[in-house]
Amino acid sequence: MGYLFLKYDICGEELKFINKAFSYLICKSLKMSNIFFTLFSILFFSNVGNSQNFKISKIIADKTSKLPIENVSIYNDKDNSTTNQEGLFVFISGQNEINFNLLGYNSLKTTFEGIEKQDTIFMEAKAFVLKEVVISNLEPFLKKVYAKMADNYISNYTSNFFLRNVLKKDSSIVVLQDVHGKRAKNANPKYPSEIEILNMRKTSFFERKNQIDFRFPDLKEFFNSLYPALDKNIFVEEDYNDVDFRKILFESKEKNPEGQIFKGYFVINRNDYAIVEFFSTWRDNPEVVPYKKLAFSNVQYRTTRYEKLLKFGKKNTLNKYYLQLSKFMVKVEVVPNIKGESTFNFDLNMDYFTTNSITTEKVESNFPIDKDVFKAKFPYSSEFWNNQNQLPLTTELKDFLKRVSENKDKKKEFEIIGNF
Q: How far apart are CA 215 and CA 23, in angstroms?
A: 8
Count of beta carbons in the 10 Å neighbourhood of residue 377: 10
Q: Phi and psi at residue 193, in whole multiples of 5°? A: -145, 145
Q: Which residues, in sequence order, are CB contacts of 107 under 8 Å at separation 6+?
A: 99, 100, 101
Whose CA is closest to 126, among 237, 242, 239, 238? 242
Checking if the pLDDT of 232 tops 80, the result is yes
- Domain residue spans of the chain: 9-50+131-418
What integer pLDDT is reported at residue 217 of this predicted model?
A: 84
The rounded distance, in Å, linking the Cα atoms of 6 and 100 is 34
Cα–Cα distance for residue pair 211/221, rounded to 1 Å: 25
Return d(Cα 385, Cα 382) in angstroms, integer. 5
How many Cβ atoms from other residues are within 10 Å of residue 106's Cβ? 14
* Contact status, residue 165 vs residue 176, Cβ threshold 8 Å: yes
pLDDT exceeds 90 at position 384: no
Which of these, 182, 185, 183, 181, lies nearest to 154 by C-alpha position? 185
Residue 20 pLDDT exceeds 50 = no
Is the predicted pLDDT of residue 211 greater than 70, yes or no?
no
First to last CA, the chain: 48
As a whole number of angstroms, the distance between CA 229 and CA 176 comes to 36
Rounded to the nearest 5 degrees, what angle is found at the Cα of 157, between the Cα atoms of 154 and 159?
A: 115
Cβ–Cβ under 8 Å, residues 380 and 202: no
CB 404 within 8 Å of CB 414: no
Considering only residues 134 and 114, tell me which one the structure prediction assigns the higher pLDDT.
Answer: 114
Please give the pLDDT value at position 151.
95
Tell me the average pLDDT across 255-265.
96
Query: Can you point out the beta strands (E) in 94-232?
Result: 98-101, 108-110, 120-123, 157-169, 172-185, 193-207
CA distance 292 to 303: 9
CB-CB contact of 121 with 60 (8 Å): yes
pLDDT range class, residue 369, cuts 50, 70, 90: very high
Q: Are 264 and 250 in contact (CB under 8 A)?
A: yes
**Would you say residue 159 has pLDDT above 80?**
yes
Contact of 44 with 50, CB cutoff 8 Å: no
Average pLDDT over residues 336-358: 88
Confidence of residue 51 (pLDDT cuts 50, 70, 90): very low
User: For residues 407 and 58, what is the distance between their CA atoms, to the nearest angstrom?
Assistant: 32
Q: How high is the pLDDT of residue 29?
A: 34
Predicted local confidence at residue 134, as pLDDT = 55
pLDDT (mean) for 391-407 = 86
Identify the pLDDT of residue 3.
Answer: 29
226/5 Cα distance (integer angstroms): 7
Residue 38 confidence (pLDDT) above 90: no
Residue 371: alpha-carbon gap to chain centroid: 18
214-to-163, 177, 190 alpha-carbon distances in Å: 19, 15, 27
User: What mean pLDDT is predicted for residues 167-195?
Assistant: 91
What CA–CA distance (Å, rounded) separates 279 from 267? Answer: 9
pLDDT in tens, 289-317: 999 998 878 889 999 999 999 999 999 89
Give the side-chain half-sphere CA count within 13 A for 350.
24
Contact 327, 309 (CB under 8 A): yes
- 54-88: per-residue pLDDT in tens? 999 999 999 999 999 999 999 998 888 999 999 99
Highest mean pLDDT: which range of 132-136, 308-312, 354-358, 392-396:
308-312
pTM above 0.85, yes or no: no
